[in-house]
Amino acid sequence: MKPRERLRACGWSVAALLVAAGVGGCAYSGNGPIDEHYAKYKAGMPEGDKVFVCSSYGCRKQTPFRFTAADIAEVKKIMADKRTATPADEREATKAALAWMGHRADTAVGTAGDRPGDDMAGNGDPGQMDCVDVATNLSSYALVMERHKLFRHHSVGSIHVKEDIRRGWDVWAHYAGLLVETKSGQRYAVDGWLLASGKPPEIVEVEKWYIDDSDLVFGSKSAKSALNNGAASQRN
């Protein structure tokens, strides 16, 4: 499947995945308290250092995984004070921490081979994740970090959802985790949907995140570079 086709998959979930399976990986819109999102998809919120890794599209499959004390120690190193002196520094460190946590969990539960983006073949596959799965998992990892007081300048916000209503029935509803900068109140989308396991997710202002599909979801040059690099690696 071409990268462009993979990119569009989260948009045609409304017309295709709903018909195909009765569930929409990225078909639904909504916002509100983070626990409402978990309840909507019947997803388990973190219990201490245990998370429930979502997969199969729309969190239909949930596999428990517990971060060990050694895992948490590694994340604390990544989020050390010298790396999180400013809000911008903390966001960069958070990218690395979430990438590490995500790959650690993916390797353990069988989702490390998730293909970036969505495709029909991945719908219902326990090893594959759509944007709902990815956003929920990133939020779970961030909540574990918050529990250990690893954020100095941010808090974990609700799942963020944005749609391109210009597309009519073929609506793009795309999901991302959310960080809120404590001092300014600026909200940042946390999105790794187009990236392979272990790659740092995008953390970008919600106003700049997912403008439309011509901006490759994120609306940032770094995301375009990440997509191009991922496509090149798949060809090799």
Is residue 173 within 8 A of residue 31, CB to CB? The reply is no
Q: Is the pTM of this model over 0.85?
A: no
Cα–Cα distance measured from residue 180 to residue 156, given in angstroms and rounded to the nearest whole number: 6
CA distances from 97 to 25, 104, 164 (A): 26, 11, 30
The reported pLDDT for the residue numbered 7 is 39
Report the amino acid identity of residue 16: A
Identify the residue whose tokens are 């219902």: 124
The reported pLDDT for the residue numbered 117 is 83
Identify the residue whose tokens are 């949930």: 62
The reported pLDDT for the residue numbered 217 is 41
Please measure the distance between the N-terminal and C-terminal CA atoms of the chain and give it in whole angstroms.
14
Domain boundaries, the chain: 3-235
Cα–Cα distance measured from residue 44 to residue 59, given in angstroms and rounded to the nearest whole number: 9
CB contact set of 67 (below 8 Å; sequence gap of 6+):
49, 50, 51, 75, 101, 104, 105, 144
Sequential pLDDT tens for the chain (236 residues): 333 333 334 544 433 343 333 343 333 344 578 999 999 999 999 999 999 999 999 999 999 999 999 999 999 999 999 999 999 999 999 999 999 999 999 999 999 999 998 777 888 889 999 999 999 999 999 999 999 999 999 999 999 988 755 554 445 678 999 999 999 999 999 999 999 999 999 999 998 887 554 443 443 444 444 444 444 443 33
Question: Within the chain, how many helices (H) and strands (E) appear?
Answer: 7, 7
